[in-house]
């Protein structure tokens, strides 16, 4: 489960001071001292019980112009800082009986959506009782990543992110099944970012069957490939072949494979599927075998 970090000092650290520290020293999730020092900054932000309220009021007075221009996470998150390898954000979690929950449903706030993360982050309960989570762990290196794949999810515990509690969520290891808080709650995150992050898969799991439901993160290149093979067949298909053979991300290689299948005549598509079952990518081998079974149900029965 996420690692709890004890940082019980009562020093107030302003957002500007926390940002200045992180800009100078960074947040390296592989370094225990760096994690502890970032947690110290997070606790200092928590100790200022009014700073977030002032920010929210300014945002509302400005009609949320800053968030609308730079926030890719939607209205649940308030981006406090975002530059290069560091992001600081506040997350708002409606209570289970709140109007927003009743209107939008739990899935809109990632409740009842068991998932891992493709980045490390620190979080602290800033206000309210906090969301509850059922925590699991798994071995990312043993997972291929296709939908319906069985995964060994090991249950650890269920607990709340109450006020002042700091957790370190580890990328590709900690899985949590978030359950709505009893009442409105807020958490603050310090997130580690890197330029390769979009290529690292993040999964939505089914806890009962212990299988992957879907990959949660996607990149624009996946749909652009689908368009390119049809709009510019010669260039687009040549590029898709290159992606399929050499792209470092299996998900992107599969997107190229699927795009080519949609553009090729049926005989050529069948030949490509037959060749792809011998791919050096376990992901592609699985997808090709699965498609062959679908297209030839009697042969594989």
Beta bridge mates, 159: 133
Element containing residue 269 per DSSP (H, E): helix 266-276
Same domain for 54 and 158, yes or no, is yes
Quick one: pLDDT at residue 155?
Answer: 98
Position of tokens 């959506």?
113
Same domain for 256 and 121, yes or no, is no
What digits encode the pLDDT tens for the residues 257-299?
999 999 999 999 999 999 999 999 999 999 999 999 887 766 5
Query: Which residue, of 181, 215, 249, is where some domain finishes?
Result: 215
Return the DSSP state at 183. Answer: S
How many angstroms separate the CA atoms of 254 and 83, rounded?
A: 31
Query: What domain range is 249 assigned to?
Result: 220-295
How many angstroms separate the CA atoms of 226 and 136, rounded?
A: 36
Across 63-67, 156-160, 248-252, the highest mean pLDDT is recorded for 156-160
Query: Which residue, of 215, 238, 257, is where some domain finishes?
Result: 215
Same domain for 50 and 179, yes or no, is yes
| E strand residue ranges, the chain | 3-5, 77-83, 86-93, 121-127, 132-137, 154-160, 166-169, 174-179, 185-192, 203-206, 211-215
Q: Any idea what the CATH number is for the domain that residue 95 is in?
A: 2.60.120.10
Round the average pLDDT of the chain to a whole number and report it. Answer: 92
Say if strands 121-127 and 166-169 run parallel, antiparallel, or are unpaired: antiparallel
Cβ 239 vs Cβ 224: under 8 Å? no
Quick one: pLDDT at residue 110?
Answer: 85
Quick one: pLDDT at residue 271?
Answer: 94
Residue 93's region, left for phi above 0, alpha for psi from -120 to 50, else beta, is: beta
What digits encode the pLDDT tens for the residues 107-163?
888 899 999 999 999 999 999 999 999 999 999 999 999 999 999 999 999 999 999
Task: Please state the pTM of the whole predicted model.
Answer: 0.89
Same domain for 92 and 228, yes or no, is no
Provide the greatest CA pair distance for the chain: 70
pLDDT interval class at 64 (50, 70, 90): low
How many angstroms separate the CA atoms of 169 and 191, rounded?
A: 10
Cβ 90 vs Cβ 7: under 8 Å? no
What digits encode the pLDDT tens for the residues 94-116?
999 999 889 988 888 889 999 99
Same domain for 100 and 206, yes or no, is yes
Q: Is 209 part of any domain?
A: yes
Quick one: pLDDT at residue 272?
Answer: 95
pLDDT interval class at 72 (50, 70, 90): low
Same domain for 188 and 149, yes or no, is yes
Same domain for 197 and 232, yes or no, is no
Query: Which residue, of 215, 237, 267, is where some domain finishes?
Result: 215
Q: Evaluate if residue 196 carries a pLDDT over 90.
A: no
Same domain for 175 and 28, yes or no, is yes
Same domain for 199 and 64, yes or no, is yes
What digits encode the pLDDT tens for the residues 202-238?
999 999 999 999 999 887 788 899 999 999 999 999 9
Quick one: pLDDT at residue 301?
Answer: 45
- What the block records as the tokens of 198 is 């979009």
Q: Using alpha carbons, select from 124, 120, 115 the residue that is nearest to residue 30.
A: 120
Same domain for 208 and 229, yes or no, is no
Q: Is 301 part of any domain?
A: no
Q: Evaluate if residue 166 carries a pLDDT over 80.
A: yes
Quick one: pLDDT at residue 294?
Answer: 82
Q: Is 141 part of any domain?
A: yes
Same domain for 27 and 106, yes or no, is yes
Q: Total domain count for the chain?
A: 2
Residue 192 half-sphere exposure toward CB, CA atoms < 13 A: 22
Torsion of CA 117, 122, 128, 134, to 10 degrees: 40
Q: Is 211 part of any domain?
A: yes
Q: Is 199 part of any domain?
A: yes
Q: Is 300 part of any domain?
A: no
Measured from the Cβ of residue 175, the count of other Cβ atoms closer than 10 Å reads 27
Q: Is 192 part of any domain?
A: yes
pLDDT interval class at 194 (50, 70, 90): confident
Cβ 130 vs Cβ 111: under 8 Å? no
Same domain for 143 and 239, yes or no, is no
Beta bridge mates, 91: 77, 187
């Amino acid at each position: 489960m996420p690692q709890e970090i004890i940082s019980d000092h009562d020093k107030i650290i302003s957002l500007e001071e926390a940002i200045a520290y992180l800009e100078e020293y960074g947040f390296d999730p592989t370094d225990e001292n760096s994690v502890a020092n970032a947690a110290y900054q997070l606790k200092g932000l928590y100790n200022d019980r009014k700073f977030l309220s002032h920010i929210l009021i300014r945002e509302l007075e400005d009609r949320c112009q800053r968030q609308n221009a730079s926030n890719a996470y939607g209205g649940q998150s308030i981006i406090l800082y975002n530059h290069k390898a560091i992001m600081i954000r506040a997350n708002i979690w409606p209570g289970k009986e709140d109007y927003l929950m009743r209107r939008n449903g739990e899935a809109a706030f990632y409740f009842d959506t068991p998932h891992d993360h493709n980045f490390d982050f620190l979080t602290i309960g800033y206000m309210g009782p906090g969301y509850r989570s059922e925590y699991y762990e798994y071995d990312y290196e043993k997972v291929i990543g296709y939908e319906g794949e069985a995964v060994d999810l090991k249950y650890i515990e269920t607990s709340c992110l109450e006020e002042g509690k700091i957790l370190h969520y580890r990328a590709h290891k900690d899985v949590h099944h978030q359950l709505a808080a009893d009442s409105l709650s807020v958490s603050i995150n310090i997130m580690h970012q890197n330029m390769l992050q979009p290529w690292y898969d993040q999964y939505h799991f089914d806890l009962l069957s212990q299988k992957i439901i879907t990959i949660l993160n996607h990149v624009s290149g996946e749909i652009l490939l689908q368009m390119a093979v049809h709009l510019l067949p010669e260039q687009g298909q040549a590029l898709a072949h290159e992606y399929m053979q050499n792209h470092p991300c299996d998900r992107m290689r599969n997107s190229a494979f699927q795009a080519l299948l949609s553009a090729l005549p049926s005989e050529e598509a069948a030949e490509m599927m037959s060749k792809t079952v011998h791919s050096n990518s376990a992901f592609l081998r699985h997808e090709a075998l699965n498609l062959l079974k679908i297209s030839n149900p009697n042969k594989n029965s």
